[in-house]
Structure 1
C-alpha cells in the first residue's frame, strides 16, 4: 500500500485588493454547480466505502489523509460532529499548514489568521500571546487538550497537532470569558499504528537555527510513547538587538489496560529567553509611526530582558464500555512564569537648549501640545549634535508566576428516543489558579563585565533618528522579595450539557447549557490605595447555545446559531486594574458582563470531500459593558457590537492544489455609552481591522516537488483617542507575501524553503493605547531552509 503526498500550491498573487482576495477565498461560489453532480454520488459512496492505505508517519489523525490541509473533526470532544456539520465557524489549522506558513510560534500562526488580531503587552499585562477574536479580548481563552491554559506567556508549537479557533461566544463550551471565541490547541499523542522518528533541522537568515524531534515507539501492543524536543534561536528580522532562544520537550505515554479502558500521562517543558521589543514611537502630530529606520531599537541593552516558561503534567483516563457510551477525564497540574523588563519608546520631543556643559544640555525644554516639560540630562549617551529629537526609554515590567490544578470530566452517549437520535455530552470542569506577582527592582548601581560597580544614569534618553541602546554595562534586575507580592486565587467550577438531536438525515438541533461559578480573591498588601489591598468576587452565571442545521444534500450544511457568554469582574487574572479587566475596587462588585450572538452560515464539501468551503454572517453584542462614567466610578451601561462576515476554504483542489484561506469583514464599534462619554459613540474598537484576508496556495509540480506561497492582507487599524492626542492614532493597512517550496529527494527526506515577507514589507501589528502611543513593528524579510528526515 502506498501513501499519497499532497502538494503545496503556488501563492495566488492579489492585485493588492482585499476584495479580490476575498473573492479568491470563495471559489465554491463558482465551483459548486460544476461539482454538485459528482457530490451526490461521492456522498453516497463515502457512506459505504472503506479506504485502506498507509498513513504518513506523524500525520494528523484528525485530517483527511488525502488532503492534510482539511481537518475533518475537532479534537475537542464537546464538538461531536464533523466540522462540516458543526453549526458554527471553526478555523482548524493543522501542523502541515503551520509548517508551510513557516510559523514557529503561536503568535506567528495568529498573525496569519483572518478574524484574529494581535494585541499589545501593555499596562502591566503579560508580554505574551495577547489576541482578539472577532474584536474581543481572548488572551485568557486559550485551551490545551480541553483545559484552559492560564497565564499569558509566549507559546511554542513544536508539540502541537493542530490549532482550532472557535468563533463566537462560547460560554456553553468554555465557561467564563470566550466573548469572541476561544482557541484550542491539541497536543501530539502516542500513535499505535507506526514507529517513527522525524528529525528536523533548520538554518536561515538572522542567525536562525531550529531543531526538533518527534519520536513515536510502541513498547507493546498496548503501550506507546511519544517524545518531542525543541531547540530554537534566532534574531528578529529587520530589528537590531531583538533575539529569542527557546528550548523544550514533551513526553507522552498511553496504555490500553483493557479493550475499553486507556490511561495516558504527559509532561510538557518549555523555556524562553530573549530581548523584548516595543517597536517604534508615534508622531502625535500626524497620528502615525515616525518614519525612522526600520531596525531602530529603543530599548536598553544591558537591562531589558524577557524570560518565561512552563512545566505542565497531565493524566487522562478514557473508558468506552460500549460503542454508544464513553467517559473521558483529564487532570492537570501546571506552573508557568513570565518575567520581563522592557523599554517603551515614550513621547518624542524637540529639545530647546540654553547652555551646555560638555556633552550635556545645562537646561532644556520640550514643548508638546502647548506646554513645556523639563528634559532630563542625557548623561553623555547621545552626542549633542544628534539629540535635537529625543525620547525617554520607559521601563514596563512584570515578575509573575502561575500555579494551577484543573480537571475536566465528561461522558458522551448516543441513543434514540422515539426515532429521534441524540448525541449527548454531559460534563464538568474544576480549576484552581494562583497568580503571584512581585514588584521588580531595578538596581541603583550597575556592573561592568568584571562585576565592578558603576554609576547608573538617571534617565535613558534616546535620539529619535539614531538611537544607541547599548549601555556597555549591566544593570541588575530582579524581584523585590522584601515586599509581599500581589496574590490572586481563583476557584471555578462549571457543569454543562450539550445535546445534538437528529430528527432526520436533513435536520438536526444542538442545545447546550452551562452553569459556572467564579470565586476570586485578590490581595496586594503594598497597594498605596487601601481600597485595592483586598478584593473578592463571587459570581455565578448560566449560558446557552441553540443551533439548527439543515442539509439539503449530504455535502452541504446550512445553519443558524444563537449563543451567550459572560465576563465576571476581575476575569483577566494576569493583571490588576480596570484598564485590562483585572481586579479593581471600582469594578469588583459589578455584575458579570453578558454577551449574546447569532450566526448563520453554510458549509459545502467538494472534490470527493477533499475541499471544504464555508461562509457565515454574525453579530456579537455586549449589552452591559463596564464603563468609566467619571473619576473612578464604573457602571455597566455601555454596549459594544461586533458585526461581520467570514468566508474560508481548506483542502485539496483537483488532487493537485492545496488551499487554506479566508476573509473576514468586521465592523466593531461602541453603539451605546453614558452621557459622560458621548464622544465615544460610534468609535471603532482599537487594534481591530475592518478587513483581513489570507490565502495559502500550493501546487504539486510532480511527486517530488511542490511550490507555492501565502498572501495576507489587512486594512488599517486605529488606536484609542485621548485628550492628549491631536488625532486618533492609526497604522496603515498592508499586503504581505510569503513563499514556500518543497523537494523530496527520497521518500524519507524532505527539504523545505520558506521566505517570509518576501518583499520586505514594512508594516505594524498593533498600537499601544496611551497618550504617548507606540507601534509594534512586524518582522522583515527572512529565509529558512529546513531538512526533515523520517526514520
Structure 2
C-alpha cells in the first residue's frame, strides 16, 4: 500500500472462517472540502478475481467491513439477496459508507438523504408522520426504509451512529422488498461484531450552534468463537440559522456474534435510541410570488413552551447464518421492535387581511392590511404514535450447475405483524407558572410576520388523550419470492425473479370531536394479494464492465402508508378501500465500468417508471378514482472510488421528468409531480496532500421544486447549490482531527415544501462548523 494511502484500508469479515485475516489496525484519512467530498469504498468483489483474505494495515481499525482497501468510497452491497457485485447487478445501487457520512458531516438519516441525487425530502404533519419522509425517482418512499433486510416501520427521525453503510436501491424493488418500493428503497446496515479486530474508537466533537457530539465504538473478540461490539451516542445541538430549534439525542447498541461452528453463526443485537427537541416547520409563503417569504432567516413561528418532538426506539434482533455445504447457505433474521414518534409542531399560516373578533383569519374575503401588519398563526399539527412489530426474513442461497450453465438461486420469504396506536394530544386549558399562578392556555396565537415573539414563558404539559383512546391500525404482510441468476457464460447472464405478497390492514378509530365536528367510531378492513416479477439481461464486454437491461414491477395497495390518515396520505380510507393495488412497471438500461484497477466505479442508467390505475382525487369533497397514470423517466450518472490512491470521489447526477400522462381530469395531463426537482447533482472529492493531511469538500445542486399533494401546484422553492468543506489531520498513530464546515457560503435554501395551496417551507440549516477528535486504541 502506498504511503499516501496509509490511513485507509480494509476490514476483516465478521464471519469466522478457516482463512481469517490478520489484523494490525487500520486508518481513515478523508477530507471533504468546498468543491467535493468523498464516499467510502468497499471491496468490489468477493469472487475468484479477488483474494478473500483481507489484510488490514494502517492506524484506524473501525473501517467498513465492505470497504475496498484502496478505494474507501467504493462499496459493495450488504444485502445477501444480491448474489453479484454492484458492478454486475442489473440495477442502480448507491452505497454510502460511514466514511462518506463522516466526510459530508452528516449525523442523521435526513442529512444524508439531503445530499443524495435522485432522492428528495418531503414534509410530514398530522395526516402523515413528521419525520424522515423521502421520495425516490418521483415516488413516495417514507415506508420503504429497511434495516439489515427488514422493513423499519414507523416514520421517525433516524440516527446513524450504529450504521455501517446506507444503500439506496432504485427502481421498483418488490421482488426484494415487498409492497411499495415504487421508486426504490433505502437499506441501512448495522455495525456488527468482528473477529480478529479488537478496537476502541472514541470520537468527541464540538462546534458552532452549541454543537456537542460524542460516540464510542468498541469491538472485542471474547474467544475464538465469540465477539462483541458496543456503540454509544450523545448528541446535543441547535439547528444552525434557526432560533429555538434543536435536539438532544442519545443511544446505544450492543451486538454479539457466536460462531458455533465454522459454518453456523448466530448474531444478536439490541438498539436503543432517544430524541427530544423542538421541531420546526420553517417559513410561511408569500402568496404573491408563490415562494417562501423573505423574512429574517432565524424567525421562528412555533410556540416555545408548547412545541416538542420525541422519538424513541427499542429494537432487538437475532440472526442465524448457516452454510452446511459450499454451494448452499441459509439466512434468517427475526426482530421485535417498539418505536414511537410524538410531537406538536406549528404550521406558520400567513394572514394578509384583518382578523375577525376571534383572532381568526377569514378563509375568504376580509379587509386587506398593509404588509407591515401581516400576521402568522402557529397552527398546531400533532401526533402521538406508538408502533410495535414482529418481523422475520428467511432465505436460502444456492449455486447449481446444469451442463455449462450456472444458477445462483435465492429462495425465501418474509413476514411482518405491526400495530400502531395513534392518540390525539390532550392540551390542558390551564397551567401553573413557576410561582404557582394558574394561567389560561391561549386557544390561538398570532405573531407579527416580521418580528414573531414565540416564547410563552411557561411550559404546557401535553400528553396523549387516553380518555378518547387510540386509533389502532394493525397490518400483516406475508411474502414469498424466488430469484435465479442464470449464467450462460462469463459474458452473458439473465436474472429472473418473482414474488407473491399478501397484505392485510385492520383499522379502528374511536368516536371523537374531529376537525369537521363530532366523528363516529369507524372500523375498516382491507386485504390484497399481488404478484410482482423482474427480468434482466446482463452482458459483460470485459471483466471490468457491464451492460444491462432490466424490467421490474411493484404494487401499492390501499392503506399502504400506515402512518397516513386518509386517502390523501395513502392511508386506509373508505374512499379507496375497494380499489385494487396500483401497478408499477419499470424499464432500466444501464452501463457500469470499473477503472483504475477496479478502484473507481462509474455507472450510467436510463429509466422509466409508470404507475397505472393510480389513485387520484377530483378535489376536496370529490370522489377518488383509480384510472390515472403517472410516469417518471430520466437518466442517472454516478461515480464512486479513488484515482491514483490520493483522490477520492463520490457523487452523481439525476434528471427526473415526472409527469401525469392519464387522468380522470384531462386538465391534469402533462402536469409535474409535486416534491420532485428535475435536476439534482452531487460531487464529493477529497485529496491526500500528505500522508497525514487530507482536504476536500462537497457541492450539492438541486433545481426548483413545486409543492402539492400529488400534482405540482404553483407554489415552489427555488433551486440552490450548497458547498461543504472537510479536512483531516493525523496527529499521531492513534489520534486524528477532522474539521467540517457545512453550508460554507451560508446559503439560504429550502429543502422541502408543504402540500397545501397556501404552504410553508422547510428552511435548511445555515452555516456551521465543528471539529471532531478521533482516538483509537
Sort the Cα spacing of 1:44 and 1:547 in 2 relative to 1 into closer, same or farther, 3 A: closer
1:383-415 deviation digits (Å, cap 9, x = unpaired): xx9971111110000001100001111100011
Aligned to 1:221: 224
Deviation at 1:188, TM superposition (A): 0.2
How far, CA to CA, are the matches of 2:358 and 2:724 in structure 1?
A: 50
For residues 523 and 46 of structure 2, what CA distance do their matches in structure 1 show? 61
User: Contact 2:35/2:684 (CA < 8 Å) preserved in 1?
Assistant: no
| Aligned: 1:582 with 2:586 | no
What is the alpha-carbon distance in structure 1 between the residues aligned to residue 648 and residue 256 of structure 2?
33
C-alpha distance in structure 2 between counterparts of 1:653 and 1:106, whole Å: 28
* Structure 1 residues 672-711: aligned runs within 5 Å: 672-674=662-664, 677-711=665-699
Report whether the alignment pairs 1:535 with 2:524: yes
Note the 1:104-123 alignment, pairs <5 A: 104-123=107-126
Give the equivalent residue in structure 1 for 2:25. none
Deviation string for 1:181-229 (max 9, x for gaps)? 0000000000102100000000000000000000000110100000000
Distance 1:681 1:95, change over 3 A: same
Q: Tell me how far apart the structure 1 counterparts of residues 33 and 413 of structure 2 sit (CA, whole Å).
A: 44
1:5 aligns with 2:7: yes
Instruction: Determine whether 1:307 maps to 2:307.
Output: no
**Residue 180 (structure 1) aligns with:** 183
- Report if the CA contact (8 A) 2:31-2:728 is conserved: no
Unaligned runs of 5+ in 1: 15-20, 26-41, 353-360, 376-384
Aligned mates of 2:51, 2:537 — CA distance in 1: 27
8 Å Cα contact 1:280/1:776 also seen in 2:
yes
* 1:127 Cα offset (Å): 1.1
Alignment partner of 1:568 out of 557, 560, 564: 557
Whether contact under 8 Å (1:211, 1:230) holds in the other structure is yes
Matched residues in 2 for 1:460 and 1:738: separation?
Answer: 38
Moved more, 403-412 or 573-582: 573-582
Q: Which residue of 2 aligns with 1:620?
A: 609
Give the whole-Å Cα distance in 2 for the aligned partners of 1:551 and 1:651: 20
**Aligned residue runs from structure 1 range 494-533, under 5 A:** 494-526=479-511, 533=522
User: Which residue is 2:66 aligned to?
Assistant: 62
TM-score, normalised to structure 2, is: 0.92
Shift of 1:119: 0.5
Q: Is the 8 A contact 1:300 1:469 kept in 2?
A: yes
Question: What is the CA-CA distance between 1:549 and the residue it aligns to?
Answer: 0.6
Change (3 A) 1:51 1:479: closer
SS in 1 for 2:573: coil
Q: Output one character per residue of 1:621-661: Cα deviation in whole Å (capped at 9) or x when no partner.
A: 00110112463422211010000000011011111100001
Looking at structure 1, the residues matched to 705 and 162 of structure 2 have their Cα atoms a distance apart, in angstroms, of: 33
Structure 1 pair 516–530 and aligned structure 2 pair: CA distance change class (3 A): farther
Match of 2:245 in 1: 242
Q: Which runs of 5+ in 2 are unaligned?
A: 9-28, 40-44
2:262 maps to 259
Using the alignment, how far apart are the partners of 2:380 and 2:52 within structure 1? Answer: 63
| 2:183 pairs with 1:195 | no
The Cα shift of 1:10 comes to 6.3
Q: 2:98 aligns with which of 76, 86, 95?
A: 95
Partner of 1:779: 765
Q: Secondary structure at the match of 1:588?
A: coil
| Pair 1:748-2:751 in alignment | no
Q: Is the Cα contact below 8 Å between 2:415 and 2:476 reproduced in 1?
A: yes
CA distance in 1, matches of 2:359, 2:256: 66
* Per-residue deviation, 1:5: 2.1
d(CA) in 2 for partners of 1:271, 1:643: 39
Deviation of residue 52 (structure 1)? Answer: 4.1
Structure 2 Cα separation of the partners of residues 722 and 213 of structure 1: 43
Q: 2:236 aligns with which of 228, 233, 242?
A: 233
1:702 aligned counterpart, secondary structure: coil
Please tell me whether the aligned partners of residues 353 and 367 of structure 2 are also in contact (alpha carbons under 8 angstroms): no
Matching residue of 1:660: 650
> Aligned runs of 1:296-445 on 2, under 5 Å?
296-351=299-354, 371-372=365-366, 388-445=373-430
| 1:109 partner SS | helix
* Total equivalences in the alignment: 744
Deviation at 1:764, TM superposition (A): 0.2
Partner of 2:703: 715
1:484 and 2:472 aligned:
no
Question: Contact (CA 8 Å) 1:283, 1:348: kept in 2 or not?
Answer: no
* Corresponding residue for residue 275 of structure 1: 278
Q: Secondary structure at the match of 2:253?
A: strand
Equivalences for 1:149-168 in 2 at 5 Å? Answer: 149-168=152-171
Structure 1 residues 686 and 49, CA, compared in 2 at 3 Å: closer, same or farther?
closer
CA RMSD of aligned residues (A): 2.5
Partner residue, 1:35: none
3-state SS in 1 of match to 2:667: helix
Query: CA separation in 2, counterparts of 1:695 and 1:47?
Result: 29
1:643 corresponding residue in structure 2: 633
Secondary structure of 1:745 counterpart:
strand
**CA contact 1:484–1:526 (8 Å) conserved in 2:** no
Taking the aligned partners of 2:412 and 2:281, their CA distance within structure 1 comes to 42
Write the mapping of 1:460-479 to structure 2, written as runs, cut at 5 A.
460-479=445-464
Change in 2 beyond 3 A, CA 1:489/1:364? closer
Within the candidate set 419, 431, 435, 1:446 is matched to 431
Cα 1:746–1:503 shift into 2, 3 Å: same
Q: Give yes or no for contact 2:31–2:103 (8 Å, CA) kept in 1.
A: no
CA distance in 2, matches of 1:138, 1:721: 14
- Output the CA distance in 2 between the equivalents of 1:189 and 1:634: 47
Q: Give the Å deviation of 1:473.
A: 1.6
User: Does 2:135 correspond to 1:132?
Assistant: yes
1:643-699 CA distances to partner (integer Å, 9 max, x unpaired)? 00000110111111000010000001111101xx33222111111100000000000
1:365–1:372: 8 Å Cα contact kept in structure 2? no
- C-alpha spacing 1:264/1:43, structure 2 compared with 1 (3 Å): closer
Q: Give secondary structure in 2 for the equivalent of 1:650.
A: strand
